Amino acid sequence: MNTDRLVLDASHAGQTLSAVLRQWRDVPWSTAKEWCTRGKVTLNGTVERDPAARPGTGVVVELHLRARPADAAAPDALFLERWRLIHCDPQIVVVDKPPGVNSVPFEQGERGALVDRVAAMLPKWKLAPAHAPLFVVHRLDRETSGLLVFGRTWVAKRHLAGLFRKHDIERVYLALVKGRMYEARKIETVLLDDRGDGLRGSARGRTAPHIGQRAVTHVRPLLQLAGEGGVTLVECKLETGRQHQIRIHLSELGHPVLGDRVYARYRDDMPPAPRVMLHARTLGFVHPTRDNGEVVHYEAPIPEDMMAVARRLGFVGETLPA
């Protein structure tokens, strides 16, 4: 079915959107959340990506399970600015992903994912023949900006996939978080797919690795900004790379990422942000052709929307420190 429609009544009062979807369509929490975060749900005709939203009585919920034809036909669906190409050689491509773009398509007929944009633009940039292969080895969340590497050969794909599997990749993120953080710290938890309310989160009082996935994030404050309660620019180095790891760890630490509408517990008192203020700044790894083990490093410029939020909070420099 292409679209389903539900008008909320008193029986839905107080329920989160993910709870409504789960009860209505008899699906797991994870499916209900994914429908929201992938833009498949509208409330009174407006896309709602927040699974924790609490729509009121009388609100019309519509579920769009297929990519919309208008989205698929958008003229710029496969466009990518040339400056976002950070590095390209016969083995790999490193790209600065814009926010609001999926890393990969999630369903048949969906257009505009980063992998499709890169594959379409490389021939236009005279860097690859038409229909040249491009292999996905990792992903970023839709709202996260920053560096992604793709393999261009099977050798590169196997090499990079092995590095990610063994966590032998240097990944450094920048985030604007609520509150004032003054000390660096190591966060190590066991992440669960469902912490009890349908969201991913850390196990409480249980540390056995078989119940979830070990997750380690190293956090370091870089800059204090203004805003109610303060805002801190932090550097996050991933020792592991689990889904939503940084967002979960920072939220559980009491410093949710600005713009995070899923894991932030008290969103109303956070300074406004147009999206999750998380940016994959640095990527380092052993190149597929470097037999000596030399690590190559790539950096992505800080995006303008993140700079705009920082300036609104009192930052006056040209670019944020890293």
Q: Is the dihedral of CA 168, 170, 174, 179 positive or negative?
A: positive
Task: Show the CA angle centred on residue 167, arms to residues 238 and 177, nearest 5°.
Answer: 10
Does residue 73 register a pLDDT over 50? Answer: no
Q: Which spans in the chain are helix H?
A: 17-25, 29-37, 69-72, 114-124, 154-165, 245-252, 304-312
Q: Per-residue pLDDT averaged across 121-148, rounded?
A: 95
* pLDDT-based confidence at residue 267 (cuts at 50, 70, 90): low
Burial 119-157 (b: 16+ CB within 10 A, else e): bbbbeeeebbeeeeebbbbbbbbbbbbbbbbbbbeeebb
* Contact in structure between 41 and 63 (CB atoms under 8 Å): yes
- Could you give the CA distance from residue 192 to residue 209 in angstroms, rounded to a whole number? 10
User: What is the model's pTM?
Assistant: 0.81
> Token digits for 212?
């979830």
- Choose between 10 and 222: higher pLDDT: 222
- Could you give the CA distance from residue 136 to residue 128 in angstroms, rounded to a whole number? 17
Share of the chain above pLDDT 90, in %: 57
For 32, list phi and psi in degrees, rounded to 5.
-60, -45
For the chain, state the CA radius of gyration.
20
Which residues have a catalytic role annotated? 141
Does residue 193 register a pLDDT over 90? Answer: no
pLDDT value of residue 152? 97
> Token digits for 230?
């303060």
pLDDT value of residue 3? 60
Query: Which domains are assigned to the chain?
Result: 4-63 (3.10.290.10), 73-166 (3.30.2350.10), 169-321 (3.30.2350.10)
CA dihedral 28, 32, 38, 39 (to 10 degrees): 160
* Other CB atoms within 10 Å distance of the CB of residue 263: 21
Task: Kindly list the distances between the CA atom of residue 276 and the CA atoms of 82, 230, 305, in Å, as whole numbers in the listed order.
Answer: 24, 17, 10
